[in-house]
Structure 1
């Protein structure tokens, strides 16, 4: 039943992506196991929808295969790779196809691709043109479902229909560049069977469910107040970008706490913001003494965001050190949510056990280089296993870590 559901879900996704498939030439590459079985079910549904379907079988037993028999009953042409040693028939079929469906290998591949399978993929690569739509069943052949690594023979898809749940490798680089449009096919797995999965893919629809309703009689005090500590003489634009983002997502009042050295350059750029000019150092950076000004302003704010464009001068590091000491665990600000970003994070590096001075509700938003500095890792080490590194950092520090990049990872203290 699951295979039938999978094939139906994939065929439906193809039709929704392509439109009317009547008369459309579809080549389905069929491998062994369930992935190939899904491809055979797809063949049947697309044929019944009016497509001109052909099958190319690799390493698949034909005896007793009910789905293959159903394809034969429909007179769907079948080519066996072992009977096409120079891939001439494959080359001809692929050249004239409108849609090529990759149902060769699924999640079980572990060994490097070689031999006939490598020849099939390389032949498709040679003849594939921009007019061809390549559809991957569950995941592109050659993409590792667990870590996103890619075999040199792998082909990038235009559409990937993954079954049941997204696979981690589809969302991690470099594999995510091979996925194209990602569709999750419902194959009838009960929701209760997936309830304990700790990893979730967040979509726009998921986020929309968490957005609070906007009161039609609300005012700026109704929707929360954000205090943003940002900017320096070298990074004036960062102050505007972060303020504009806070305003865009609906904060009722946004205050920019910025060095007075750049106040004249920034004031009025985000017209909705208010301003708290802070003492500046000799180079236009925020002065260490400015921490007292920020602490004094905190009552009444729901969020304190620190870091964008602050720079990394010694005076700025001392500001962060003092801000943590005076405000981090101050019970007066128990309900305040800290968000530490950019140079706010970079200036934590020389501060001993800085995470113990931040509230547990804090959110850290590093890009790979910033997370690497905090952990003493090279960027390549972070990128090699983004999921594991983000999880371990969140658990070690007891904070939410938002690792930015191609498919952002949000990790909680519970992993």
Structure 2
């Protein structure tokens, strides 16, 4: 089954439709996104492979997805920690932080040291709305993730990648290729440059939304919120 990619413009329009027409709140969409990410982590890196997970969050909704994923991972028995160098201003993010504080999930300040003790990195820095250029502190952060010796799972798009054109030609992120990518709602055009395990999370879209944006919906198994699909769209 071929899965169509969605442009960043249509992805933004789809989110708007979900909230204005579909009755969804940002909290709900972020919860489902973070849950999908956590399930993908469990698939590719079960706790037996190492419980220490470093979640690197950006200031926008992608970072919020990472905060939700960290909460679920803590409940699954992992030992997550969060690096959140530039916090989002929406009070939703503060509530997500409170939930993590209540689970004793640490927010780390020394990124380089945290990298040395982690078994998996979740890249939740930038999503489909990223348009570049990178601004500090993110170029140095992405360079460190890029050269890390542990596997990386990116949320929606590898951070630093152009959503249409893929990895930058030079500089931070030019050689960034995470082992796993979780596309949310639908793959973004940059997926054609990705070589790794690819999951789709979006088991809540209605038939009307799928038809409006000319999207496909693969068959999710059981109660799973993610389904693994080929990097060129073929179902695995």
User: Structure 2 length as normaliser, TM-score?
Assistant: 0.72
Out of 107, 125, 130, the position equivalent to 1:104 is: 125
Q: Counterpart of 2:122 in 1: which secondary structure?
A: strand
Deviation track 1:267-310 (CA, whole Å, cap 9, x = no partner) reads: xxxxxxxxxxxxxxxxxxxxxxxxxxxxxxxxxxxxxxxxxxxx
CA RMSD of aligned residues (A): 2.5
Match of 1:182 in 2: 198
**Between Structure 1 and Structure 2, whose CA radius of gyration is higher?**
1
Kindly tell me: are residues 202 and 62 of structure 1, through their superposed partners in 2, closer, same or farther at Cα, counting changes over 3 Å? closer
Out of 115, 139, 142, the position equivalent to 2:136 is: 115
> Separation in 1 of the partners of 2:52 and 2:61?
24
Is the 2:164–2:190 Cα contact (8 Å) retained in structure 1?
yes
Match of 1:16 in 2: 43
Higher RCO (C-alpha 8 Å, min separation 6)? 2
Out of 69, 84, 96, the position equivalent to 2:98 is: 69
Match of 1:305 in 2: none
> Separation in 2 of the partners of 1:125 and 1:144?
16
Kindly tell me: are residues 32 and 125 of structure 1, through their superposed partners in 2, closer, same or farther at Cα, counting changes over 3 Å? same
Out of 33, 39, 56, the position equivalent to 1:29 is: 56
> Separation in 1 of the partners of 2:97 and 2:83?
11
Is the 2:53–2:80 Cα contact (8 Å) retained in structure 1?
yes
> What is the count of residue pairs matched by the alignment?
190
Is the 2:166–2:190 Cα contact (8 Å) retained in structure 1?
yes
Q: Counterpart of 2:205 in 1: which secondary structure?
A: coil
Ranges in structure 1 where 5+ consecutive residues have no aligned partner: 81-88, 204-405, 409-415
Is the 2:156–2:182 Cα contact (8 Å) retained in structure 1?
yes
> Separation in 2 of the partners of 1:193 and 1:11?
25
Is the 2:210–2:217 Cα contact (8 Å) retained in structure 1?
no
Match of 1:270 in 2: none
> Separation in 1 of the partners of 2:215 and 2:165?
14
Ranges in structure 2 where 5+ consecutive residues have no aligned partner: 1-27, 220-230
After TM superposition, the structure 1 = structure 2 runs for residues 204-215 of structure 1, keeping only pairs within 5 Å, are: none
Note the C-alpha offset of 1:10.
0.8
Note the C-alpha offset of 1:142.
1.2
Note the C-alpha offset of 1:188.
1.6
Q: Which runs of 4+ in 1 moved over 4 A?
A: 198-203
Q: Counterpart of 2:53 in 1: which secondary structure?
A: strand
Note the C-alpha offset of 1:114.
3.5
Kindly tell me: are residues 202 and 4 of structure 1, through their superposed partners in 2, closer, same or farther at Cα, counting changes over 3 Å? closer
> Separation in 1 of the partners of 2:90 and 2:125?
18
Q: Counterpart of 1:195 in 2: which secondary structure?
A: helix
